[in-house]
Amino acid sequence: MRVLVTGAKGQLGQDLIVHIEKYPWAIYGLGKAELDITNVEQVSKVITGFNPDVIIHTAAYTKVDQAEKDRDDAFRVNGEGTKNIAKAAASIGAKFCYISTDYVFDGENKIPYSTEDKPNPQTVYGESKLAGEKYTKQYCEKYFIVRTSWVFGLYGNNFVKTMLRLAKEKDEIGVVHDQTGSPTYTADLAKFLIELVQSEKYGTYHASNSGQCTWYEFAKEIFKQAGLDTKVIALTTDQFPRPANRPKYSVMANSTIENNGFQILPHWKESTQLFIEVLKEKEKVFYKG
């Protein structure tokens, strides 16, 4: 099988490449320098030249707050860029896997969002990612849309790394306690995506680690797993204002994964522990003593 990964230098993209390399497949991992997804001619040339069986599209504009001021840039990348990749995938009959986000929902639910719930994004970032979903459905028959949330992993910056870094600098850290979601370890997500694209079970999926927590609870678990005694202070969203609205509740039901015979992702606490063990070996700089 021939697999092309966009955004291959990103947090998820790098983990995908690492896990795909375990398979006897031809892999083409492209970062922004190798592929400008907003350049329709370049996209067509590169994709038809490699002629992949599967395209996993992780490249995205992910600056949630900055997007509120850079609407055009967000839509050019997440909307038009995705359209370019989707059309190229369809032209060669490739399976197309688009990585989306919990930000397509408004955060007002009291129970986990299902794939049948109507999106209602409250941010420019969420709107632009939803535009990518619509283009995916419009141009591809063989598509997977995979919404995920609160991503953390070995590559790039994320909440876990930030908390561990701050723990070296401060004795106490304030974290919001009125936003609830599901953390997602990129290694777990990568394994699921690889399993998914080998199938023909097309459609929309919600893929985050099992369970749910607030950012405050996530921070407390991070410090517990890392053996740190850093004090965590619960804050409200109003005490920590950001340009882009954060969903109050963005937990997504993983029933589509189960219903299609795939294994649900491990519990977020289990994956957090595993990730911190990896960090202990690779990035000891985060740890006191």
Active-site residue set: 125
Going by DSSP bridges, is the β-strand pair 213-214/180-181 parallel, antiparallel, or unpaired?
antiparallel
Helix (H) or strand (E) holding 235: strand 231-235
d(CA 45, CA 30): 13
- What are the backbone angles phi and psi of residue 219, rounded to the nearest 5°? -60, -45
**Whether the Cβ atoms of residue 95 and residue 144 lie closer than 8 Å to each other:** yes
DSSP per-residue letters across 190-232: HHHHHHHHTS---EEEE---BS-EEHHHHHHHHHHHHT---EE
Beta strand 151-152 with 213-214 is unpaired
Beta strand ranges found along 149-206 (DSSP E): 151-152, 172-176, 180-181, 184-185, 203-206
DSSP symbol at 114:
P
Closest CA to 274 of 166, 195, 192, 186: 186
